[in-house]
Chains A and B, each alone.
Chain A
Amino acid sequence: MPDLVFDDVSISYHTSGRNSRGEVAAVKHVSLELPSGGTLGVAGESGSGKSTLAMSVLRLLPRNATLTGSVRIGDTDVSELSFGRLRAVRWAEASIVFQGAMHSLNPVHTVGRQILEALELHITDRWRTEKARKERVKELMEVVDLPPEKADAYPHELSGGQKQRIMIAMALACEPDIIVADEPTTALDVIVQKQILDMISSLVRDRGISLMMISHDLSVLATACSRIAVMKDGELVETGEAHQICLDPRQPYTRQLASAFPVIGDPASRMNPISRRERPPRPPVEQRHAMTDEVLLEAHGLNVTYHSGRRSVHAVRDVDFTVHSGEILALVGQSGSGKSTLARTVLGLQAADAGSTIQFRGKDLPHKGRQLRAFRGQVQMVLQDPSAALNPKLSVYESVAEGLRVQHFDGNEEDRVAASLQEAELIPPAEYIGAIPQELSGGQRQRVVIAGALAIHPEVLVADEPVASLDASVRGEILALLLSLRERLGLSALVITHDLGLAWNIADTVAVMYQGRIVEHGPTEEVLLNPQHEYTRTLLAAAPSIRDKAVA
């Protein structure tokens, strides 16, 4: 079995067009080695060049990229292969599990057909006949723990985790020696993530495949890889054994990356998300807002059913909860648990079933017209993906002022917008007002969304996975912002997440949601440190932790 060697690899992109930045170096002088049968993790934030490095293994870089140095699989230099040879190497010797299984599968073919495609392009003795290939597909489905009949399903009929398994089955199809997995679990919730990681680990162990895994999450890499390389701005910052990188990082950057994901139960990270930014001074203790007994938002016997055709799906069942003034409540659950539906219902975007009560300050949630608009002035939402939540054509000013305009705000709009941007820590506001979303980073975009919500001075903020699509370091910044908003303005928040670490970081109380029901609800320390319900324990056990390695 061949080794994968990166020898002094530099990759730069040549950009053109009006906003050309000339030559952009994405990877700078990286030398790495993946011995056969080994596992190597590459960590880094977006823009660190880790995906570019992964693509170079199979020469999948776009045409405007130039590579110097050499990428070798065994003795063959990938950049010198003829196209025919390269095709043989692709998939048969090394394969890639692409990022975002949701979008990498062809929606008009069954998944079995797509696995078959790789086999047909790389016919070997083992699957020379049509029948043998079909057999092989079945075999692969078993390897990735899926029932063989799922091969006849179309991508939209599968869940995220199942699609990811299909992607892995595709990568394994031609029995490659090397697998490159680019963020294989990023869009998945903790429980599915754990299943996928366990599966990958056992495949590596049993079949002696070499694995190069790329992720922004050190704890994920720690679970699956024995060695980890940390990249920043295209350069290699640190390489070492996984447990050394996680527990005893030598470089300050690695330390930052390692601390971005909190350890549940660690008092240092409780109510203290790691943020790289200088924080604004906290108000004096006596002026800080904290959780009070005043009930703002409450729901009793809340049920939500979706009807589509004759089928109906009971998404939320008999849920009771309250959000007090100044409280940060984290609603935790895996995808499909009904937590997003609950959020939409609380905001009046989704109708609740008859018999449910949702009250804000003791008054029923209005359904239309003026009252609903007034209610919207009190309860605001922050969506998961800030890039989608901002109209790409509107400037930051327009986006923030939008709420003021629909609420018929009479005061000085410019001042209010500037103040909101300031509150969302976009300082100085003048610098951001004219920008359009695509000119901002992910974290800045999320701040704009938050500023837009803050502009109309709401009392409750409903945040649906506010950091799930953001980088590790930005994650801490946004969480710190939510926490500081509570302290400075007394803003209550209902934060929806699949990430228990997030709850540990900022929440006063936690509600765990499972199959539409809230199975456990209480103060964060109680729920997370002394879980009563079976499901909470499963969730906690599934959360990857960099400490695991030390115990193992």
Chain B
Amino acid sequence: MTTTASAPVAHPGSARAMAWRRRRAAAGQFWSDFRRYPAGMTGLVVLAVIIILALLAPVLAPSRMLDVTQLLDSPRYAPPSLAHPFGTDDQGRELWVRMLWGSRVSLVVGFAATAMSMIIGTIIGIAAGHFTGWVGGLLMRIVDFFLVLPSLILAIVLSSVLSRGVMTIVIAIGLTSWAGTARVVRSQTLSVESRDYVERARVLGAGHWHIIVKHLLPAVMPLVLANTTLTVGSAIIAESTLSFLGLGDPSKQSWGTILKNSMDLSAATSGYWWYVLIPGLAILLVVLAFTLVGRVVETIVNPTLRNR
């Protein structure tokens, strides 16, 4: 409060310098902890490989490979073989090319929608748990409203109001899936709020911000992370649902669209197993990798789990 211009240079022991040093050390410590878990590293490597492949899609498979007019000679429904690693689809397109391009949209939608839903859910949940009285009550009524709203209908309405595209789908999924997170976060917040250490922080002179950032957020983070890993999967699937309803961008490939196409052709019963299996496995792989990373992050963030 009384820090005047007379001492502008933060000396090495000052709170700010300390805070930065501490954060850098904490990040370093986190990484060296993380590296000790093979499961987490496996997940991280898988995610990294998928992301790099998605980024390299235009280089590995130029977009003309998806142009049906140029694929008239290509066999249809070719099973996986050396010439067609993942097989081909009903229009002779290589499945691996579609998967590669589809991963871009699927991952972007999966991550962005999850991030949106987690951020909204966490903020509203913590606020509803921390601020008691009418603020919390009002927030909870808003959460209830979003909980009972049929999410598909809301998504359809949103997509028809907003312009079509990936962004719209992200917003539609993000806005409809945060309410569940908010409820869970609120109940965890309420339980942490009643602990003595929050009271101790209050006695030490802490305000709302300090209590939320220092005590509540770290306590709900493991829960949010666990929730995130599951939401990525359901967001990828929700994206395919919306694409199927014609609310997405039909000119773009996505894993959901591929699954959808395969379903239209009853690929599974017609013996085109690769058509169903490959996009399905891809979604599984991403969700699994996310779960592995999430579990390890949770273990590190919450030292009380160390002994388990």
Q: A residues near B, CB below 8 A?
A: 17-19, 347, 349, 370, 372-374, 376-377, 380-381, 383-385, 388-394, 402-415, 436, 438, 449, 452-453, 456
Chain B residue numbers with a CB within 8 Å of A19 are: 306-307
Contact (Cβ within 8 A) B204 A403: yes
Say whether B18 faces chain A, with CB atoms less than 8 Å apart: yes
B308 nearest CB neighbor, chain A only: A17
Chain B residue numbers with a CB within 8 Å of A376 are: 203-205
- When chains A and B are docked, how far (Å) is the Cα of A374 from the Cα of B2? 13
A393 nearest CB neighbor, chain B only: B218
Chain B residue numbers with a CB within 8 Å of A402 are: 201, 204, 206, 214
Contact (Cβ within 8 A) A413 B218: no
A372 in contact with B196 given A17-B308, A392-B303 (CB within 8 Å): no
12 A-B pairs besides A18-B307, A391-B195 with CB distance below 8 A are A349-B203, A370-B1, A373-B207, A383-B200, A388-B196, A402-B204, A402-B214, A406-B206, A409-B15, A413-B15, A414-B13, A452-B204
B3 nearest CB neighbor, chain A only: A410
* Cβ-closest 7 pairs across A and B: A412-B13, A376-B205, A388-B196, A403-B204, A373-B205, A389-B196, A406-B206
- When chains A and B are docked, how far (Å) is the Cα of A63 from the Cα of B203? 43
Question: Within the complex, what minimum Cβ distance (angstroms) separates A360 from chain B?
Answer: 14
Chain B residue numbers with a CB within 8 Å of A389 are: 196-197, 199-200
Question: Within the complex, what minimum Cβ distance (angstroms) separates A159 from chain B?
Answer: 20
B222 nearest CB neighbor, chain A only: A393
A-B contact pairs, 6 of them (CB 8 A): A388-B196, A388-B197, A391-B218, A402-B204, A411-B14, A452-B204
Contact (Cβ within 8 A) B15 A405: yes
Contact (Cβ within 8 A) A406 B15: no
A408 in contact with B15 given A388-B196, A388-B197, A438-B304 (CB within 8 Å): yes
Say whether B252 faces chain A, with CB atoms less than 8 Å apart: no
A383 in contact with B196 given A406-B206, A413-B15 (CB within 8 Å): yes
**Cβ 8 A contact of B203, one of A347, A385, A404:** A347
Question: Within the complex, what minimum Cβ distance (angstroms) separates A81 from chain B?
Answer: 33
Question: Within the complex, what minimum Cβ distance (angstroms) separates B210 from chain A?
Answer: 5
- When chains A and B are docked, how far (Å) is the Cα of A436 from the Cα of B303? 8
Say whether B202 faces chain A, with CB atoms less than 8 Å apart: yes
- When chains A and B are docked, how far (Å) is the Cα of A414 from the Cα of B301? 23
- When chains A and B are docked, how far (Å) is the Cα of A311 from the Cα of B81? 79
A456 in contact with B307 given A389-B197, A393-B302, A410-B15 (CB within 8 Å): no
Question: Within the complex, what minimum Cβ distance (angstroms) separates A494 from chain B?
Answer: 13
**Cβ 8 A contact of A413, one of B13, B195, B201, B302:** B13
Chain B residue numbers with a CB within 8 Å of A410 are: 3, 14-15
Contact (Cβ within 8 A) B303 A385: no
Contact (Cβ within 8 A) A406 B207: yes
A18 in contact with B15 given A370-B1, A402-B204 (CB within 8 Å): no
- When chains A and B are docked, how far (Å) is the Cα of A453 from the Cα of B303? 24
Say whether B164 faces chain A, with CB atoms less than 8 Å apart: no
Chain A residue numbers with a CB within 8 Å of B207 are: 373, 406
B200 nearest CB neighbor, chain A only: A389
Interface residues in B290-308 (C-beta closer than 8 Å to A):
301-304, 306-308
Contact (Cβ within 8 A) A380 B204: yes
Interface residues in B166-211 (C-beta closer than 8 Å to A):
195-197, 199-207, 210
- When chains A and B are docked, how far (Å) is the Cα of A411 from the Cα of B7? 12
A380 nearest CB neighbor, chain B only: B203
Say whether B154 faces chain A, with CB atoms less than 8 Å apart: no
Chain B residue numbers with a CB within 8 Å of A347 are: 203
Contact (Cβ within 8 A) A392 B204: no
Chain A residue numbers with a CB within 8 Å of B215 are: 391
Contact (Cβ within 8 A) B302 A452: no
Question: Within the complex, what minimum Cβ distance (angstroms) separates B215 from chain A?
Answer: 6
Chain B residue numbers with a CB within 8 Å of A383 are: 196, 199-200
| Residue among A349, A372, A412 with most chain B CB within 10 A | A412
Say whether B219 faces chain A, with CB atoms less than 8 Å apart: yes
Contact (Cβ within 8 A) B200 A449: yes
B219 nearest CB neighbor, chain A only: A393
- When chains A and B are docked, how far (Å) is the Cα of A383 from the Cα of B199? 9
Chain A residue numbers with a CB within 8 Å of B304 are: 392-393, 436, 438
A403 nearest CB neighbor, chain B only: B204
Chain A residue numbers with a CB within 8 Å of B11 are: 412
A390 in contact with B307 given A402-B214, A413-B15 (CB within 8 Å): no
| Residue among B3, B218, B307 with most chain A CB within 10 A | B307
Chain A residue numbers with a CB within 8 Å of B210 are: 405-406
Contact (Cβ within 8 A) B196 A413: no
Interface string of B202-242 (1 = CB under 8 A from A): 11111100100011001100000000000000000000000
- When chains A and B are docked, how far (Å) is the Cα of A384 from the Cα of B199? 12
Contact (Cβ within 8 A) A381 B218: no
Chain A residue numbers with a CB within 8 Å of B197 are: 388-391
Chain A residue numbers with a CB within 8 Å of B218 are: 391, 393
Contact (Cβ within 8 A) B307 A407: no
Chain B residue numbers with a CB within 8 Å of A409 are: 15
Contact (Cβ within 8 A) A414 B205: no
Question: Within the complex, what minimum Cβ distance (angstroms) separates B49 from chain A?
Answer: 30
Question: Within the complex, what minimum Cβ distance (angstroms) separates B1 from chain A?
Answer: 7
Chain A residue numbers with a CB within 8 Å of B205 are: 372-374, 376-377, 403, 406-407, 456
B13 nearest CB neighbor, chain A only: A412
Question: Within the complex, what minimum Cβ distance (angstroms) separates A398 from chain B?
Answer: 8
| Residue among B3, B204, B302 with most chain A CB within 10 A | B204
A462 nearest CB neighbor, chain B only: B203
Question: Within the complex, what minimum Cβ distance (angstroms) separates A187 from chain B?
Answer: 16
Question: Within the complex, what minimum Cβ distance (angstroms) separates A397 from chain B?
Answer: 9
